[in-house]
Amino acid sequence: MTLEQLRVFVMVAELLHMTRAAERMNMTQSAVSASVAALEASCGLPLFHRIGRRIELTEEGRAFRGEAEAILSRVSVAETVLADLSGMRRGRLVIHASQTIANYRLGPLLHRFHMRYPQIGLEVALGNTAQVVGAVREGGADLGFVEGDVAEPNLARLTIPGDRLVLVVGQGHAWQGRTQINPEDLLTVPFVLREAGSGTRQVFEDALRTAGVAPERLHVALALPSNEAVISAVMAGAGATVISDLVAAAGFEAGTLHRLPLALPPRRFYALRHADRYHSRAARALLDLALETGRRG
């Protein structure tokens, strides 16, 4: 049994597809199949059912997956410790970020980090706040960057510069040009919002509750999984939205979006790490740089 066989097994177990696992790992399908077969031969047990063109984990495979993931997690920690001992001349940092931060804040931050520490590999994945929290909690990410408030006892949270949510409509909307909007007015028009679990939606719903408006009374015509999809639907006339001023800025400048006078609180962004897992020098350096950037801003 080798670490490479374990990595291949875990990827196939996650995707339940040999070809996709091969593509994800930059391997040939025959190499992936051979690795799985060698692992099964070494333990004398089938780890997957082959059902036509589909595969499924056997009961033994499901039990083994957790152990394999735990081994790989420990190996990752050992590699991180060695990277720290080498003085950040090598290593890898896995970052998961929610969409607004990833699209409007993370790029410049990671560029500055790379210029300082070019030997540290950076791997970035996007998700909503709930997905990012899950990745950090389960050890799939060294650091997470989110907009939503997080109440996870095992996660340490660092506040970094944020944004402000704004009420937005498209060109020609009935509210365009209005000089006053009350919270109760929000119940009279359809809305296009991010999906449940996103930080943007969570903060907006919290603001509604503070204003005495139950979020479930809102007419949500569309719930969409990306900021770009929300903005596109609003510009097409699907309804109003509440979204980050960073996301809406280009539409304001072009005149395709219009900001309405509804007071919404500023929003904090947070950097997350697991409180009980090893915190690498590279992760600490990126957090320090995020704070330094915020102070300059």
CATH number for 62: 1.10.10.10
Does residue 187 sit in the same domain as residue 66?
no
Does residue 167 sit in the same domain as residue 261?
yes
Question: pTM of the entire structure?
Answer: 0.62
Backbone angles phi, psi at 13, to 5 degrees: -65, -35
Q: Look up the CATH number of the domain holding residue 126.
A: 3.40.190.10
Domain stops at, among 28, 63, 84: 84
Does residue 211 sit in the same domain as residue 142?
no
CA gap 212, 214 in Å, rounded: 7
Gyration radius (Cα) of the chain, Å: 23
pLDDT digits (tens, 9 = 90+) for 44-55: 889 999 888 788
Does residue 184 sit in the same domain as residue 258?
yes
If phi > 0 it is left, if psi is from -120 to 50 it is alpha, else beta; for residue 56 that is beta
137-148 residues labelled b (16+ CB within 10 A) or e (exposed): bebbbbbbbbbb
Does residue 182 sit in the same domain as residue 262?
yes
Return the closest-CA partner of residue 101 out of 229, 291, 268, 230.
268
CA gap 167, 148 in Å, rounded: 18
pLDDT digits (tens, 9 = 90+) for 45-104: 899 998 887 889 998 888 888 888 888 777 777 776 666 656 666 678 899 998 888 888
Does residue 247 sit in the same domain as residue 174?
yes
Q: Which single residue is written with the structure tokens 């300082």?
A: 116
Query: Max CA-CA distance within the chain?
Result: 73
CA gap 215, 186 in Å, rounded: 10
Does residue 43 sit in the same domain as residue 70?
yes
Other beta carbons less than 10 A from residue 266's beta carbon: 11
Does residue 171 sit in the same domain as residue 256?
yes
Supply the range of the domain harboring residue 52: 3-84
Return the closest-CA partner of residue 140 out of 64, 91, 73.
73
Return the closest-CA partner of residue 142 out of 113, 116, 108.
113
Does residue 30 sit in the same domain as residue 107?
no
Domains in the chain: how many in total? 3
Tell me the pLDDT band of 295, cut-offs 50, 70 and 90.
low
Task: Identify the top-confidence range among 20-24, 68-72, 275-279.
Answer: 20-24
Do the Cβ atoms of 158 and 275 come closer than 8 Å? no
Does residue 157 sit in the same domain as residue 272?
yes
